[in-house]
Amino acid sequence: MINWQPLTGEHDMNEIIELSHEKPVMIFKHSTRCGISFSALDKLVEEWNPEKSENLSAYMLDVISHNQFAREIGKFFGIPHQSPQVLIIDQGKVVYEQSHFGIKYSEVEEILGKLNG
């Protein structure tokens, strides 16, 4: 099970950047109006391995409720805004980004293995 924390604004973003210097942070940008987003989220949750992901903080961003903030995240990190989209942030930088059906837990796990290696 993923212990999602809500991501809602700039204050949270500053916290994430600071936290990413201690351990990797994952942001899942989720559209509550998109079937693809629900499908990608379901697949990620289904494949999630808590033991291999215990050194990761997971945040969920509702892009419908916080659309402007979702776009600001893309600008801040210099990546195009997508939804659904997974970002893994380490040391204040995006080290992994994937969207739509490209979101795969196996890739998240691989990145975490390299970061925690």
Residue 27 has pLDDT above 80, yes or no: yes
Range(s) of the domain holding residue 101: 5-116
CATH of the domain at 37: 3.40.30.10
Supply the pLDDT for residue 53: 82
Residue 1 has pLDDT above 80, yes or no: no
First to last CA, the chain: 23
| Contacting residues for 11 by C-beta, under 8 A, at least 6 apart | none
Number of domains in the chain: 1
Q: Are 29 and 80 in contact (CB under 8 A)?
A: no
User: Sheet holding 5-6: strands in order across?
Assistant: 5-6, 57-62, 25-30, 85-90, 93-99
Mean pLDDT of 58-64: 95
